[in-house]
Amino acid sequence: MTDTVAIVVLTERGLAMARRIRSCLTGARIHGYSTRVSDVDVAFDDVGTELRRLFADGIDIVGVCAAGILMRTLAPVLADKREEPAVVAVAEDGSAVVPLLGGHRGANELGRRLGEVLGVPAAVTTAGDIRWQVALDDPPSGWVLANPHHCKSFMARLLAGEHCRLEGEAEWLECSGIEFRTDAVLSVRVTDAPDGGDEDTLVYHRRRFALGVGCERGVATSELADLVERTLAGAGLSSRSLAGVFSVDLKMDEPAVHALAEALGLPARFFGPPALEALTPRLANPSETVFREVGCHGVSEAAALAAAGERGTLRVAKTKSKRTTCAVAEAPSPIDAMQLGRARGVLTVVGLGPGTPAWRTPAAEAAIRDAAHLVGYRGYLDQVPASAGQVRHAHALGEETERVDRALALAAEGHPVALICSGDPGVYAMAALVFERLEAAAHPHWRQSEIVVLPGVSAMHGAAALAGAPLGHDFCAISLSDLLTPWAVIEQRLRAAADGDFVVALYNPASNRRRRGLARAIEILAAKRAPATPVVVARAVGRDDQSVTVTCLRDLDQASVDMMTVLIVGSTGTRVSGGYVYTPRGYGTKGESGVSA
Ligand code: SAH
């Protein structure tokens, strides 16, 4: 899901064109200007903010609008063309397609594809593409340019009429319009060996080698990285010639394997023991000991061979350090690692905030966008824009364990999964249950997924901000739901909070049937606080029907409190002034020492 394209549309007239474009780009979503366009995947309020955000997130943009709008909006944030995404403008009626930015980061390619669909030529303006039908700084997938920093001057010299040699084989270059001559000063070299090139020489590597690794549990990353570095150096191979790091799925949660892959900028992919065992006849070092422990006769050699495919061969047989092994297999052409074995699954536990998307963190939005599966209570999933190709698992209220188990099982299959909660996912929500299930459930393979918890704005924080700053000094949160906690425990905590003079946020304060708890809680707090102590009654915070009322312990209308409400009861220090509720921290009366904002 990560290669999503954002189709940005500003007018209702452009929407049909945006839909046509979406239908031919997998994973693309329509982002629409909320005041003018309805029924889009993602609605936004401010054109500039949305375009700059997408651009900063590295998401390719197809703007169904004037090229000038995209240029003016993005001009202030342009920085490094080697890092930035593609930007293509498409006329509302489909009569023009203009790759504007990132021509060699996919914009020309994207423009050409859209041009084909719409039956118009893409207005490609980058010089190399026109002259030679190739982009030297944007080689085909599976190829890597080792020295992109030399590319600009190299291309300028070619355009100025210098000739060029080809060292090695590259069909995409041989079929291009570049005229190669053996006596030229400039050269394009294709090699598997480490080679940084220079201003006269562009160096390309083919990602046709598979690195297989094995290790003991908990090994230091440096031990594995050192072995790999020595092995590659000994074999005369550049790490840029590698397509991926491969291992057995038992190592899916091994930090050293992932750290190595990350350091090499490569995907880590895993095979099950049966797939590896099938390669035993081709192993240089089959081992009975490994078979007894893992279920296949080799890990690093077998994983490398599995990735290199049937026509692959072992380039480097298993080498060892004390606790790690590695091997390298070679394929005749580039290897597409993403199609091989499985990735480690990631379960991201996400909080949507209390309501409005404006209080949702960009990290939460990105995790939702990148997930292949969304799991959550139906009411929360409804707050998340639909995305093509994403599977939604909507659950009824309750069913918490089912939701969490579903999310863990999907992640264990190797998918990126987002488990959606309201507010903050760690506050009376699913994150703790995820860890509880991991510990208790009889599925050890669930533990191999990566678990990421992203913070969100809790109802208490939303309510506090709307009222002023009632949480300015020590506070606590207490849930009045006795579904999972005995009432005696809740009451004991209320008394302790009253004694400690904490500001108290009351979650799950009352339901239609459960009203007694709230009355008792107020009674306990009122026993230690003045009747005029401020109370914030915040209902449906961040939603259309939001209401925030400031009252006091004596006047609280308990009938107005329901399950969509969070209450904030002040401490003895909490005040109301000019309509705002706040709990001073003491700056006004004390010196500054030891207090920081
Ligand atoms: N994880 C959530 C809490 C879920 S428990 C969070 O961090 O906010 C559910 C309780 O949270 C509700 O009974 C209510 O007390 C409070 N709550 C959740 N959303 C709310 C909202 N928009 N306005 C007021 N209270 C809310």
In tens, the pLDDT along 326-362 reads 999 999 999 999 999 999 999 999 999 999 999 999 9
Class of domain 5-125: alpha beta
346-457 sits in which CATH class?
Answer: alpha beta
Query: b/e for 351-364, b at 16 or more Cβ within 10 A?
Result: bbbbbbbebbbeeb
For residue 593, pLDDT beyond 80: no
- Our mutation pick for probing the ligand 1 site, out of 352, 356, 359, 422, counting the most ligand atoms within 8 A of Cβ, is 422
Q: What is the pLDDT of residues 125-161, one digit of tens each?
A: 877 676 777 788 889 889 999 999 999 899 889 888 8
pLDDT value for 594 = 60
CA of 28 to the centre of ligand 1 (A): 33
**Is 518 a pocket residue for ligand 1 (Cβ < 6 Å)?**
no
* CA 424 – ligand 1 centroid, Å: 9
Is the confidence at residue 88, as pLDDT, over 90?
A: yes
Break the chain down into helix, strand, coil percent, rounded to 5.
35, 25, 40
With a 6 A CB cut-off, is 353 part of the ligand 1 pocket?
no
Short-list 580, 406, 422, CA closest to 508: 422
For residue 35, pLDDT beyond 60: yes
Give pLDDT, residue 1. 44
Residue 597 binned pLDDT confidence (cut-offs 50, 70, 90): low
CB of 561 shorter than 6 A to ligand 1:
no
456-472 b/e (C-beta count within 10 Å ≥ 16 → b): bbbbbbbbbbbbbebbb
Atom 11 of ligand 1, residue of closest alpha carbon: 507
> Mutation test of ligand 1: which of 513, 536, 566, 569 has the most ligand atoms closer than 8 Å to its C-beta?
566
CATH 3.40.50.12780 for domain 460-582, yes or no, is no
pLDDT exceeds cutoff 50 at 2:
no
The encoded tokens of residue 92 equal 């509302």
pLDDT surpasses 50 at 263: yes
Distance 404 CA to ligand 1 centre (A): 19
Please report the pLDDT score of residue 221 as a whole number.
97
From ligand 1's centre to the CA of 509, what distance in Å? Answer: 10
* Element containing residue 89 per DSSP (H, E): strand 87-90
Q: What is the pLDDT of residue 25?
A: 87
Residue pair 142/206 in contact by the 8 Å Cβ criterion: yes
- Distance, in Å, from the CA atom of 210 to the CA atom of 98, rounded to the nearest integer, reads 38
| Residues recorded for the chain | 597
Q: Which atom of ligand 1 lies nearest, measured to the CA of 542?
A: 22
Q: Band of the pLDDT at 388, cuts 50, 70, 90?
A: low
The pLDDT value recorded for residue 148 is 93
Q: Are 419 and 350 in contact (CB under 8 A)?
A: yes
Q: Is 459's C-beta closer than 6 angstroms to any atom of ligand 1?
A: yes
Ligand 1, atom 6, lies closest to the CA of 423
Within a 10 A sphere around the Cβ of 533, how many other Cβ atoms? Answer: 21
Whether pLDDT at 529 is above 90 = yes
Higher pLDDT among residues 162 and 459, named by residue = 459
Position with higher pLDDT, 57 vs 463: 463
Average pLDDT, the chain: 93
Q: Where are the domains of the chain?
A: 5-125, 143-206, 209-339, 346-457, 460-582
Joined tokens for residue 532: 């005029």
CA–centroid distance, residue 527 to ligand 1 (Å): 26
C-alpha closest to that of 568 among 449, 441, 435, 466: 466
What is d(CA 375, CA 392) in angstroms, rounded to the nearest whole number? 6
Residue nearest ligand 1's atom 18 by CA: 459
- Could you tell me the distance, in angstroms and rounded to a whole number, from the CA of residue 354 to the centre of ligand 1? 7
Least confident span in 31-40, 241-250, 283-292, 315-324? 31-40
Write b or e for each residue in 323-341: b if 16 or more Cβ atoms lie within 10 A of its Cβ, otherwise e: bbbbbbbbbeebbebeebb
- Quote the ligand 1 centre to 460 CA distance (angstroms): 8
pLDDT of residue 105: 80
Whether the CB of 538 sits within 6 Å of ligand 1:
yes
Provide the pLDDT for residue 132. Answer: 74
Q: What is the spatial distance between Cα 234 and Cα 300, in angstroms, rounded to a whole number?
A: 17
**Per-residue confidence (pLDDT) for residue 106, from 0 to 100:** 85
Six token digits for residue 182:
């053996």
Pocket flag, ligand 1, residue 429 (CB < 6 Å):
yes
In the predicted structure, residue 186 carries a pLDDT above the cut 90 = yes
Residue recorded with tokens 């000991």: 289
Per the model's pLDDT, the better-predicted residue between 100 and 175 turns out to be 100
Q: Please determine, for residue 596, whether its predicted confidence score (pLDDT) is greater than 70.
A: no
Beta strands in 361-461 (DSSP E): 373-377, 391-395, 416-421, 450-453
Q: Residue 71's closest CA among 112, 100, 91, 95? A: 100
Probe residue for ligand 1, chosen from 507, 511, 549 as the CB with the greatest number of ligand atoms within 8 Å: 507
pLDDT of residue 161: 87
Q: Is the pLDDT of residue 363 over 50?
A: yes
Under CATH, which number does the domain 209-339 receive? 3.30.420.180
Count the Cβ atoms, other than its own, within 10 Å of residue 287: 18
Task: Count Cα atoms within 13 angstroms, Cβ side, for 322.
Answer: 6
- Does ligand 1 come within 6 angstroms of the Cβ of 432? no
521 lines ligand 1 (CB under 6 A): no
One-letter amino acid at 20 equals: R
563 pocket-lining for ligand 1 (C-beta < 6 Å): yes
In tens, the pLDDT along 487-524 reads 999 999 999 999 999 999 999 999 999 999 999 999 99
